[in-house]
């Protein structure tokens, strides 16, 4: 299936402000692109791309005084299959984890494993390890958090989400990631496009989405604590320890967001 996706995001600033943007499709999906993916800016400013340690394509630019608009549109081929499920996937012993996976057991900026460790073992210590344990964590986060844009804030951590009981998709992901790590399951944060093409009814205004991946059975599996069932049509943009590694934009100065439009649709040619 061909998916047409893109965005148009506007910023205002009073002086030039450097920016780092994770707004490109993740390098692991480059082979699926069926059109050129290029970021345009208005006014036009120099752009420079590099790949970070997580395989994210990072774009560097400096917004001029007055601000700038970033836009992009592309077509990508996707199997449009549900997220893979393997209820028999086993949890690896810590001594058997690959070196590059160990990173995703440690606490991070938005995932305070030290503060949630006791709670995690109290809630899930009796669960069967592996897939059933992860599913129990996802079920708990899904049931205990109320989706509410009004309670979102960029500084909100997993510990705060746990106590406040509300948030947006990134908050669901942060809490689930932190709880998985507390239970010795490597987990990493993901962000990207997730349209409503697999839903019976439109899901409301389009936005970027957040989910997470866990290491089970020698590979990474997708889980989504907000929706809590296998979805179709995910297009990964960035991943990392948490949203600090996969922030859509990071600005190095005061900036106001003035426009935010995202779209994900079935391409009419598919």
- CA 6, chain centre distance (Å): 16
User: Is the Cβ–Cβ distance between 15 and 253 less than 8 Å?
Assistant: yes
Q: Can you give the pLDDT at residue 54?
A: 95
Closest CA to 175 of 140, 149, 209, 148: 140
Q: Note the pLDDT tens digit of each residue in 145-197.
A: 999 999 999 999 999 999 999 999 999 999 999 999 999 999 999 999 999 98
Q: How many residues does the chain have?
A: 270
- Domains detected in the chain: 2-79+248-266 (2.60.40.2250), 94-232 (3.10.620.30)
User: Is the Cβ–Cβ distance between 173 and 208 less than 8 Å?
Assistant: no
User: Is the Cβ–Cβ distance between 14 and 74 less than 8 Å?
Assistant: no
pLDDT class for 200, splitting at 50, 70, 90?
confident
Q: Can you give the pLDDT at residue 205?
A: 73
pLDDT at 270 over 60: no
pLDDT at 5 over 70: yes
CA distance readout (Å), 69 to 43, 72, 199, 209: 7, 10, 31, 21
DSSP-H helix ranges across 57-168: 99-102, 113-124, 131-144, 158-164
User: Is the Cβ–Cβ distance between 172 and 142 less than 8 Å?
Assistant: yes
Closest CA to 260 of 6, 5, 10: 10
Structural Rg of the chain based on CA atoms = 19
Helices 131-144 and 113-124, axial angle in degrees (round to 10): 110
User: Is the Cβ–Cβ distance between 259 and 10 less than 8 Å?
Assistant: yes
pLDDT at 256 over 80: yes
The mean pLDDT value for 93-119 works out to 97
pLDDT class for 201, splitting at 50, 70, 90?
confident
């Amino acid at each position: 299936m061909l998916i047409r996706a893109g965005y148009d995001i506007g910023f205002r600033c009073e002086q030039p402000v450097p920016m780092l943007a994770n707004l490109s499709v993740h390098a692991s999906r480059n082979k699926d692109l069926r059109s050129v993916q290029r970021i345009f800016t208005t006014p036009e400013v120099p752009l420079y791309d590099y790949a970070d340690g997580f395989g994210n394509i990072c774009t560097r630019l400096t917004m001029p005084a007055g601000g700038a608009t970033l836009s992009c549109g592309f077509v990508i081929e996707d199997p449009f299959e549900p997220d893979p499920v393997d209820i028999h996937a086993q949890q690896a012993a810590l001594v058997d984890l690959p070196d590059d996976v160990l990173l995703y057991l440690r606490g991070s900026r938005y995932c305070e494993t030290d503060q949630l460790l006791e709670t995690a073992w109290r809630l899930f210590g009796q669960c069967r390890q592996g897939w059933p344990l992860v599913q129990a964590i996802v079920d708990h986060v899904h049931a205990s958090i109320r989706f509410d844009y009004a309670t979102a804030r960029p500084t909100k951590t997993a510990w705060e989400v746990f106590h406040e009981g509300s948030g947006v998709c990134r908050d669901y992901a942060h809490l689930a990631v932190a709880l998985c790590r507390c239970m010795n399951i490597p987990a990493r944060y993901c962000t990207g496009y997730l349209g409503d093409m697999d839903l019976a009814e439109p899901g409301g205004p389009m936005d970027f989405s957040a989910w997470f991946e866990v290491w089970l059975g020698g590979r990474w599996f997708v889980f989504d604590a907000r929706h809590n069932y296998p979805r179709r049509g995910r297009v990964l943009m960035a991943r990392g320890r948490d949203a600090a590694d996969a922030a859509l934009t990071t600005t190095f100065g005061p900036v106001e967001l003035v426009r935010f439009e995202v779209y994900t649709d079935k391409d009419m040619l598919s």
